[in-house]
Amino acid sequence: MTRKLYWLAFKVGDEYKLSPYRCESRQDAMRHGMEHVLDRELVAVFAEDAGFTVDEMLDLATFMQRPGSVFLRPEE
């Protein structure tokens, strides 16, 4: 399996920061950001091939729905 680069966007106080993480899926990246990075709030996960610049990812992170939000879950 191929490990792909994902950018995890975290809210740290009033600032947003990006952290790279290599894994097999977006779900693995979200899990890592939510379960293993406990001193920051995960707010977004971007795939490297999405084509966003660092500035665009940081801007988008300020208003995206949080990972695991009930608004992103499929209806039952």
List of residues 6+ apart from 51 with CB closer than 8 A: none
Q: What is the mean pLDDT of residues 52-56?
A: 95
pLDDT at 25 over 60: yes
pLDDT digits over 35-50, tens only?
Answer: 888 888 899 999 999 9
Q: Which of 9, 3, 1 is nearest to 57 (CA)?
A: 9
